[in-house]
Structures are given as structure tokens and as C-alpha cells.
Structure 1
Amino acid sequence: MPTITLALWPLALALLIVGPLLGGGYLLLRDAVSAPRSFFTDAALGVSDSAPRAVPQDVLVAALSSVLDGGIVVKAVLVLALWAAGAGASAMVGVLLPARGLGLRAAGLAGRLTASTLAVWNPFVAERLLQGHWSLLTGYAALPWLVWAGVRMRSAPAAGIGVTLLALALAGLTPTGAVLAVIVALVVAALPGGWRRAVRVAVIVAGFAAVAAPWLITAAMAAPGSTSDPAGVDAFAARAEPHLGTLGSLAGLGGIWNSQALPPSRTGAGALIGTLILLALVACGVRGLWRRRAHPVIAAVVVLAVLAVVLPALGATAPGLAAARWAVENVPGAGLFRDAQKWVALAMPGYTLAAALEVRALSRLPRRLPGIRARVVRDHRENRRAAAQKVRGSVGAYAAAAAISSAVLIAALPSLAWGVGGALQPAHYPQGWDRVAAIVDSAPSDGAMATLPAGSFRDFAWTRGPVLDPAPRYFRTDVLVTGDLLVGDTTVGGEGTRARDTEEALLAGAAPAVLAHEGVRWVLVQHGTPGTLGDSAATLAQAEQVYSDPDVSLYRIPGPVAATGSTSADRGLAWAGHALWLAAAVTGAALTGGAALRQRMRLPQRA
């Protein structure tokens, strides 16, 4: 029963959060884009002229959406990620704070349930959901599992290595997730004690190299010295929420750069109240963490949590921003670290440990519970009833403390429930999108698609807010996007040089031959969304209109189109990188399954 409870509780929380999405339709909100079917395009493989930010995520979705509707795939991954975050926090607490004795066993269950609640129900999860970072949450969910695996690797190498590789692979759906995961895994593996430390570290390094291969290889194929727009450093710096300041916002697991990606209950005084409640709960467990500071893994997890709050706060200061701008301008790949708030995810394992110990402090458990059992042995007849009553009272106190703590965490962020204040609602594509897809997909694949209006984001009446242009994930052909982002009044330039040249040609009303030279066969005009069209009507008047309705219009560029884009060698290398990621995931799953099977076969023998 405790095992079932620990598994079902985070699942219930996850379903409470994403409930509105569970019907038909697609997740379309800011960076989250799902479509009925995705394809193995150059952008999905990471070999377009934009940075490979969504590999191997897009390849995985393309593969799964060939047998399942893509909307179901994304929603299933999101639910599993939220569940895994809570289940992982519970498992981590179980291995780092093992229960001893009858009363403490009840405390272990209560503490693990509270840790599970905090892992799922916090501002970081809410803000990343509103930003559309569903795949980043898989990396977030992997963190406590990597701590668990790092501890298990010392006594049960096969199980520990298996979970480590599997967690690294799942976290590695995005580059950020892979980096978050390897930080935690290396910190725990490098600590002294147990099975060979050098081997543990080697396993982590090799696992990271495999799961990061899809974007490491494609990034290496990019133009030498490719860097990101330094304007993104200021735009994506951690943000101070109302009444909190930057440090307070980060300490409360909030502070995302986008002020529009805030749950309703985190606006105004709600941010201050919710943060104080969360920090008060965590503070109640600090004494317990201090008493266990000799445990190297607990100490490392706590230090990591502190650094995860302090370093992004320092990064938002003038010197920190200046240093980051220099790095982004001069170090290829440094743009990965521009979104400073996302690194606060590393605080989650430490916070959940503190929450588990908070239950012990709140319950006011008698300090010397083992003495109760000793008195039972010394005077069995006289003291058995009284001791049992005290133990039952302790069990009840732990249960009450867990219930109160979880209720307080949920009450501190009530708008996370049911779609983060209703923002997570399924969207439905107009029929014109399917009709355009039928035309484009049935034609010879001899050119890419450009889209209008200019810009990377759309805001349709049929979506719940701004969303990345869905076209790159909806159509079989490659869709050119600049990757430019408008953050407030600042435009952060993307890496899509070919897409930018095409967009500028369209806005200038250039002849269709200019687009053909860029390898463009199709132009899709999306109606009902803000954006600049410039003089594109002059270009489109010379093209062939093959479809039009109130939602979309499709134009075909006549004549021969230049062969541009990636080469077969580039795609082959990209597929090799994805094969390494898949190999790490399969190896991890096989080792984990084999270890679980061996453990299950040994149980009857011990009984």
C-alpha cells in the first residue's frame, strides 16, 4: 500500500495540473508546439541553419507521431515528466533518509509524500509550463532520479548505472536538460565512498557524451565561431517578481524572464506570500539537513541548491550580465546558458529533502522513539499498551504533518491547478492546415517553405496565446524560420541566416527568382495573426496561388529551385548522433529492467 500511494500521489497531482489538455486537441502555447504528425526534417535533425535547440526531442516526436497522434505524444510525455518528478523526489528521499523503526517508517512515507508534492507543485513548474517548456521538464524530473542512482551505484552498480543512463537520456531530450542532468550526476558520482569512484565518473561522462551527441555533433558542423546574439543575455536574465527582488524570486523557485509566463496567483502580493510559505516550509527542514551534513550526498545536494539560487542571482547583476555578454559573443555554445532562471531547477532535490525533514519537525515526534521500543522489551505487559499508543500518536502526527504540508504547498500556488489558471487548453488547427499539408506533402520535395507574417511567433484566435509558428512541425518540407524573438522591446536575433535573407526578400517585394535562389518552393501566409507583411504582395502576385481560405493561403514559386540545405553527409552524422542517444536510453532501460527482475527473483528466497 505505501508503494502504491507513493506512485499514485504524484500522478494525481500531474493530472490535476494538465487536466484540461487530456481531451482532444494540441498543446500550442509559446514554445510548446504539437501537431498531428511531425517529420524528420533538417530542423528536426538539427542540421538547418538554426541552432539545434530541440534535438533529439523533435526526432523522438516525429518517430512516435508516425504511430500515434502527435498531440497525444506531447501530452503523454508532459504527464509522465510531472509524475516522474514527484516519484523521483520520493525515491531520493527514501534512499537518503531511510526509515528506521515503526514510527519512523510512518514518517518516511509522510516525508516522501511531502517531497513529492513540492517537486511537482512549485513556481518553476508553473512558469515553465506557461513558457511551453514541456520537454525541459523531463530534464527537471530526472534530477532526483540521478541522485537516487548515484547512491545506488555504490552498492548495486547495475541498477545505479541503468537508471543513470536512462535518466540522462530522458533529460537529454533538450540540450539544457542534458546539462542539468550531468551536473547532478557528476556531483554525486564524484563523491567518495562505495564502488569505484573513477568508474562511476567515467560512466557519467560517457553517458553524457552519448545523450548529448545529437546536438554536439550538429553544433560542431555549424559555421566555425558561431555565437548567439548577446542581446539575449539581458532579455533572458532572471527577473525580480513583485516585492521579492531577484534573489527572493529565485529562492522561491520563480523569477522566469518572461513576465507573461506567470500563473495568476503569482502576480502582485501573491508572489511574496507564496514564496514566504515555500521558504518557511523548507526552513523547517534545515535543522534536519544540518544534523546530516556528514552524509556527503546530502551535503552536496544542499550546496548545489544554494548555488542554483545564488549564481543566477549574481548573473542578473551588472557585472554578471557583462561577463555573460562577453561569453556569448566569444564562446560558441555559450548561448545555451542565457536563460539563467532555468538553472534554479538544480535546487529542487535539496528543497525536497528539506521538505521531507520538515514533516518530522512539524509532527513534534518524541526525540527518543527507540526508547519506547526499549521500554516495551523491558516491561512488556505493563508498557505495551502505552508504548503502542505513543507510536500510533507519532504515526498520526506524521500523517497530519504531511497532509498539512502538502495542502499548504498547493494553497501557496492555487492557480497551478487545472491548466495553470486555464492557460493550458487544447487548440484545434483549422481545416485549411490539413489541406495545405496534403498539397505540399504530395508534391515533389524540391524546396523549402517560407511563412508570413514576418517573425517566429503567432497569435491566432484559435490558440490560447502567443505560440511559435507551428508550420515547421506541421509540414513534411523544411520550413525556414529566423529564430528571432521579441522580448519586451528587445529583438533577440536567431541563427537562421538563410531564413532571414528569405524573409527580407519577401518583405521587400523581391521577384520570385530571389526566393528560388534560396531554395524556396512554397510561401504560406497565415491569416488572423499580427505581424509585418511589408511589400510581400508584390512577390506573391508573381507566384501561383494554389490554396486560400480565411486561415491560410499557399503560394507556389514557379520554375526551378536551387538545391540548398543540408547534405547527405550532414544528415548521416546527425542520425549517428541520434543513434548514440537511443543506444544510451536502450542500454539504461535494459540494465534497469534486468536489475529489477533479479531483485524480484531474490525476494522469495529471502522470505
Structure 2
Amino acid sequence: MTRSPAPGQRSLLVRLAPALLGALLGMLALGPALGPGFTLRYDMVFVPDPPIFRDISGFPRAVPSDLVVALLSYPIPAMVVQKLILLGIFLLAAAGAAALVPSGRTPARLVAAAFYAWNLYLAQRLLLGQWALLLGYAGLPWAVRAAAQGGVRRFTISLIPAAVGGFQAMLVTLLAVIPVAARRAERWRAVATTGAVAAVLSLPWLVPALLSDAATDPAGVDAFAPRADGPFGTVGSLLSLGGIWNAEAGVPGQGFWASATVRLLVSAVAIWGFARLLRHDRHDRHGRDRHDRDRDRDGHDGHDGHDGHDHGGRCDRQERRERRDPALAGLAVAAVLGLAIACLGAFAPEVLKSLIGWWPGFGPLRDGQVYLAPLALAQALGLASFARGRIGLAAVAVPVLVLPTLAIGALGRLATADYPAEWRQVQRIVNADPAPGALVSLPWRAHRVFRWTGGRVILDPATKLFARRVVWDDTLVVESRERGPIRVTAEDPLARRVGALLAGPGPAGAGLAGAGVRYVLIGDGNENEFLRKLPDATPIFRGERLLLLRL
């Protein structure tokens, strides 16, 4: 006869259940990505032995996430660091969503955990390789909870995932926590504290961004606008937490009528559930307020003196405001704002272009779909509100059943590969050279397809391999069904200068050297095309698919 767990052990298992569920969902979603090697897909590029100090060019998108990865990769292999981060996103997201549900409602906590760790928003951003943004997404529930409860130390700790993720992760988090802080009793003090803590934690990317002379092309509004990735149009896609601009980030089969209909229905039920939570919170608050007014009237009948009565009224108003649930009310505001920002690029692009033309700081609003994260959290809480008893426990499987093709690495779209030895050799040669000078990576395009990655499109790995500045073509070309090819101009001024030299007539070696370039790395076996432009360059290393030149 087996012995049942002791009460203390059972309580511990209940508390850990959402985190364990998140880890299980992470293993199911990542699948082959947890095997030996690096998971490389679009922006998700981890490299062996990443340099701790790098000269960052253009807008600091990978600050400070790359630094944290490099520090963690010093004692631990970088491929292990990547897997721990990816699994940690699922675990942190699930546990955070559950933490916003009352502790006594275990089925509801598990449903919230399952939905927040398994939905189309997370799936599409994962397939686009935006792991740093997903760190902020995973930490969002914790930040909302801390902003509602107050306390500088608690809030600072809750913002660490977003701070590591960088600018986009922090902006998405701020969209939620500022409305939450504004719903607290001491609203102005809470908002000021929230902003101050976020500003300090944002300094690693905020200072380089302000000092950078990177340009923001308004054409990016059309390139990054949300799109319909199902039969219900752009709004239907956004309400289902999809609508990402890159069609290659879609989950297999997500556009089918059946799957899209079920996702939209589940989202509608979840939004209805969240609205019920808000209504119940309002009714409960009004009931408490009526009770307080009756108690005050009965209790203060015998009191004299205007000052005492006024003081008591102020205290009662303060108390009633403190009883409100700032997490729910603030999250509702954030979800509506996030949906509005997402719709802006799709339905009012000229407004956003004008804002970016007036001040480039509005550039992060171009990819508006990222701001659906608060809506995803609101839907998780709304769906959890229906979970009761054993039926509620069965509802934990709903998110997986609604989006089954995220499993096993999105049916193989997430897989591993290892860098050929020649990449590591070139890395050692360049990083061992103390002489200053940048490295230009060719062919002149941002994303590559290599045989050794299984044909998956990835960001040029050279951008993260070397301690010196790497100049690469950060121009983005997006194919749009409605508008055709959309070209978003490179942000880095040096990249624009180098691109002009490479495209111009005659040799480019002298011009590149004058621009501060010391090395040129040619990949993909296309060296003959570029050697004519660099006749005076000295070959330093020649491998099967890589050629390193020194000017």
C-alpha cells in the first residue's frame, strides 16, 4: 500500500505545479531544439564562445541580452545556456500567470499557466527567433503582480527578465505595469517609482540608443504591419494573438478554417471571462463601499467636529481605493492599448509614419503586434476564471489542443545544428588580433541560408562571433502581397557607407580601409564576386565555405 504525500509535501507540489507544467510544455514545444547543438532560426542566433565585450553598431537591439549570454557562456557551454533560457521562458511564463490567480484555486492557476505558456503569440515570436522579447513576455505577469502590490525591491526584481531582454521587452512590460501602478491608491507616487526603476534598468540599451546616430525608416511601418494570418482578417488574427508580419513565423496549419475558428472562439471566451472578472471585482468593491458607508454613518453619528469627520472621510476613500484590484483594472487598460497599437500600423499607417518622421523614438511602435502581450495575459486569466474542480483540470489541455502543431519544435521547424570548424577558426584569428578596425561580412545581406543549418534562414552569425565591430547590411526587404517588395533602409550609417562602396564602380579596398575596416569575411563560397572589388586584400584564412581577408 502506497503512502499518500504528507500535507506539507502536497502543499509544495501544489505551489510548484504551474512551474512544472511550464517546464513540461516547454519540453513539448521545443522538442528537437533541446538536442545537441545550437537552435538557429531567424533572429535566434547563439554562437560558440561569444565575446563578452563587443562593439555594437546601429540601434542596440541585442543589448544587454548578448552580454548576459556571453557571461553565462563563460562557465557553461553556450548551447546549454540557450536551452536553459528557452526552457526558462516557458517555466517563468507559466508560473507568473498562475501567480495572478488566488492560491486556493489550483485548477484555475494551471489553466492560466497553460494558456500563457502555449499560445500563438509565444509560438510566432519563438519561430521568429525573438527569445529576448519572450524573456520580457515571461516576466510580464510577475511585473504586473509587483506593480499592483508595491515595493521598490519586489518590482525591481520582477523587471529583471525584461531588462535582460532589452528595449522591446522593456517597452512591452511598461505598457502593462504603468496602467497597473496608476490604479493603486497612491497613483502618482506609484507611477513615478515604476518609471524611475524601469529607466534605471533600461540604461544599458537606452544610453546607446540615445547616443546612436542610427536612422529609422518610416517604410518599416508597412513592412512590420500586422497581417491576416487566418480567414478572419487582421483583427481576427490579432484577437487570436497572431497577425505577425512575417509569414514564415507561422505555426503549421494555423491558417486552416477549423483551427483558426477554434482559436478565435477560445480567445472570445477568454476575453468574456476576463470581463466577468472585472465586473465581479467592481461589484465586490461597490458592495464593500456600501458596507463602509453604512458603518461610517452608524459609527460617526455621535462625533462632533468638522476636522475629525473630514479626516475620517479621507481615510475611508483611501481605504476603498486600496481595496481595488489594480492588476485586473490596469491589465484591462494595457490590453486595449496594446491592441490599439497593433491596429495602428494596419489601419492608420500614415499616422505612425508621421510620428516616426517627427521623432525616430516612435520607431519601436512599427512592429505593433508585439504589444499584444498584455492581451495574452488577460486572456489567460479570463480562461482560468471558468476552471472549477476536475473539469477545470481537464481544461489545462485546451491550449495544447487548440494549437497542437507547436509541439515537437513546431513539427521540426526548431532543430539544432553545430557550427563547422572553420567558423570557430576564423573567430579565434580575428579575436586574437589586437589591432583596431571593423570586420565587414559578405555577402551583403542580413539573413543567410547555410547547408549546415538544414536550409533554415538565420541572421548572419558573424554579427555575434567577433569582439570587434561587425558591419553588415541591416537593410530589410519584406515581400508584401499588397505592396510588393518593401525595402527598409539600413539603420547603421557605416553600413550605408560600406554598401555604397561595395555597389560602386571600381575597387573598394581603399574606401573600406578609410572607413575603418580591417577584415572582410566572405561566406557562402561567393569569393570570386568580391575579390574583384578587393584586389589588394591579403587572404588570412581560406576554408571550404569561408574566406577571411585583411585590408
- Regarding TM over 0.5, the answer is yes
* Residue 348 of structure 2 is aligned to residue 351 of structure 1: no
* Residue 15 of structure 2 is aligned to residue 3 of structure 1: yes
* Residue 534 of structure 2 is aligned to residue 540 of structure 1: yes
- Distance change >3 Å, CA 57–CA 270, structure 1 → 2: farther
Work out the CA distance in 1 between the residues paired with 2:115 and 2:439.
Answer: 44
Aligned residue in 2 for 1:164: 155
Task: Please show how residues 195-234 of structure 1 align to structure 2 within 5 Å.
Answer: 196-223=186-213, 227-234=215-222
* Residue 68 of structure 2 is aligned to residue 60 of structure 1: yes
Following superposition, the deviation at residue 502 of structure 1 comes to: 1.9
Aligned residue in 2 for 1:300: 330
Work out the CA distance in 1 between the residues paired with 2:175 and 2:404.
Answer: 32
Task: Please show how residues 10-21 of structure 1 align to structure 2 within 5 Å.
Answer: 10-21=22-33
Following superposition, the deviation at residue 41 of structure 1 comes to: 4.5
Work out the CA distance in 2 between the residues paired with 1:435 and 1:316.
Answer: 46
Counterpart among 323, 344, 362 of residue 334 in structure 1:
362
Q: Is the 1:227–1:329 Cα contact (8 Å) retained in structure 2?
A: no
Q: Is the 1:284–1:357 Cα contact (8 Å) retained in structure 2?
A: no
Work out the CA distance in 2 between the residues paired with 1:445 and 1:164.
Answer: 44
Q: Which amino acid aligns with 1:412?
A: V
* Residue 435 of structure 2 is aligned to residue 445 of structure 1: yes
Q: Which amino acid aligns with 1:519?
A: G
Q: Secondary structure at the match of 1:266?
A: coil
* Residue 542 of structure 2 is aligned to residue 551 of structure 1: no
Counterpart among 164, 169, 174 of residue 166 in structure 2:
174
* Residue 178 of structure 2 is aligned to residue 186 of structure 1: yes
Aligned residue in 1 for 2:352: 324
Aligned residue in 2 for 1:71: 79
Q: Which amino acid aligns with 1:89?
A: A
TM-score (norm 1): 0.77
Aligned residue in 2 for 1:385: none
Q: Which amino acid aligns with 1:256?
A: I
Q: Secondary structure at the match of 1:410?
A: helix
Task: Please show how residues 105-116 of structure 1 align to structure 2 within 5 Å.
Answer: 105=104, 108-116=105-113
Work out the CA distance in 2 between the residues paired with 1:549 and 1:185.
Answer: 51
Q: Secondary structure at the match of 1:55?
A: coil
Aligned residue in 1 for 2:34: 22
Q: Is the 2:341–2:365 Cα contact (8 Å) retained in structure 1?
A: no
Counterpart among 486, 507, 515 of residue 512 in structure 2:
515
Following superposition, the deviation at residue 332 of structure 1 comes to: 2.4
- Distance change >3 Å, CA 14–CA 181, structure 1 → 2: same
Aligned residue in 2 for 1:503: 499
Q: Secondary structure at the match of 1:151?
A: helix
Work out the CA distance in 2 between the residues paired with 1:528 and 1:420.
Answer: 31
Task: Please show how residues 560-579 of structure 1 align to structure 2 within 5 Å.
Answer: none
Task: Please show how residues 409-488 of structure 1 align to structure 2 within 5 Å.
Answer: 409-464=399-454, 465-488=456-479
- Distance change >3 Å, CA 245–CA 43, structure 1 → 2: farther
Aligned residue in 2 for 1:368: none
Work out the CA distance in 1 between the residues paired with 2:38 and 2:15.
Answer: 33
- Distance change >3 Å, CA 477–CA 289, structure 1 → 2: same
Aligned residue in 2 for 1:263: 251
Work out the CA distance in 2 between the residues paired with 1:432 and 1:192.
Answer: 57
Work out the CA distance in 2 between the residues paired with 1:493 and 1:67.
Answer: 39
Aligned residue in 2 for 1:365: none
Aligned pair count reads 489
Q: Which amino acid aligns with 1:545?
A: P
- Distance change >3 Å, CA 203–CA 441, structure 1 → 2: same
- Distance change >3 Å, CA 305–CA 521, structure 1 → 2: same
Work out the CA distance in 1 between the residues paired with 2:431 and 2:333.
Answer: 53
Aligned residue in 2 for 1:391: none
Following superposition, the deviation at residue 270 of structure 1 comes to: 5.0
Q: Is the 1:441–1:476 Cα contact (8 Å) retained in structure 2?
A: yes
Task: Please show how residues 238-249 of structure 1 align to structure 2 within 5 Å.
Answer: 238-249=226-237
Q: Is the 1:274–1:412 Cα contact (8 Å) retained in structure 2?
A: yes
Q: Secondary structure at the match of 1:462?
A: helix
- Distance change >3 Å, CA 528–CA 124, structure 1 → 2: farther
Q: Is the 1:284–1:358 Cα contact (8 Å) retained in structure 2?
A: no
Following superposition, the deviation at residue 498 of structure 1 comes to: 1.1
Work out the CA distance in 1 between the residues paired with 2:549 and 2:244.
Answer: 39
More displaced 10-residue stretch of structure 1: 440-449 or 134-143: 440-449
Work out the CA distance in 2 between the residues paired with 1:256 and 1:497.
Answer: 28
- Distance change >3 Å, CA 222–CA 276, structure 1 → 2: closer
Q: Percent identity?
A: 35
* Residue 280 of structure 2 is aligned to residue 291 of structure 1: yes
- Distance change >3 Å, CA 80–CA 514, structure 1 → 2: same
- Distance change >3 Å, CA 499–CA 310, structure 1 → 2: closer
Q: Is the 1:35–1:470 Cα contact (8 Å) retained in structure 2?
A: yes
Q: Which amino acid aligns with 1:299?
A: A
Work out the CA distance in 2 between the residues paired with 1:141 and 1:542.
Answer: 51
Q: Which amino acid aligns with 1:126?
A: A
Aligned residue in 1 for 2:44: 32
Q: Secondary structure at the match of 2:471?
A: coil
* Residue 481 of structure 2 is aligned to residue 492 of structure 1: no
Work out the CA distance in 2 between the residues paired with 1:2 and 1:254.
Answer: 32
Work out the CA distance in 1 between the residues paired with 2:337 and 2:191.
Answer: 21
Q: Which amino acid aligns with 1:184?
A: A
Q: Is the 2:345–2:366 Cα contact (8 Å) retained in structure 1?
A: no
Task: Please show how residues 59-138 of structure 1 align to structure 2 within 5 Å.
Answer: 59-94=67-102, 105=104, 108-138=105-135
Work out the CA distance in 2 between the residues paired with 1:351 and 1:16.
Answer: 22
Following superposition, the deviation at residue 314 of structure 1 comes to: 4.0
- Distance change >3 Å, CA 300–CA 120, structure 1 → 2: same
Following superposition, the deviation at residue 284 of structure 1 comes to: 5.7
Q: Is the 1:10–1:82 Cα contact (8 Å) retained in structure 2?
A: yes
Q: Is the 1:36–1:71 Cα contact (8 Å) retained in structure 2?
A: yes
Q: Is the 1:282–1:351 Cα contact (8 Å) retained in structure 2?
A: yes
Q: Which amino acid aligns with 2:200?
A: A
Extract unaligned runs of 5+ from structure 2: 1-12, 286-323, 480-484
Work out the CA distance in 2 between the residues paired with 1:197 and 1:309.
Answer: 24
Q: Is the 2:148–2:184 Cα contact (8 Å) retained in structure 1?
A: no
Work out the CA distance in 2 between the residues paired with 1:333 and 1:227.
Answer: 10
Q: Which amino acid aligns with 2:32?
A: P
- Distance change >3 Å, CA 454–CA 271, structure 1 → 2: farther
Q: Secondary structure at the match of 1:546?
A: strand
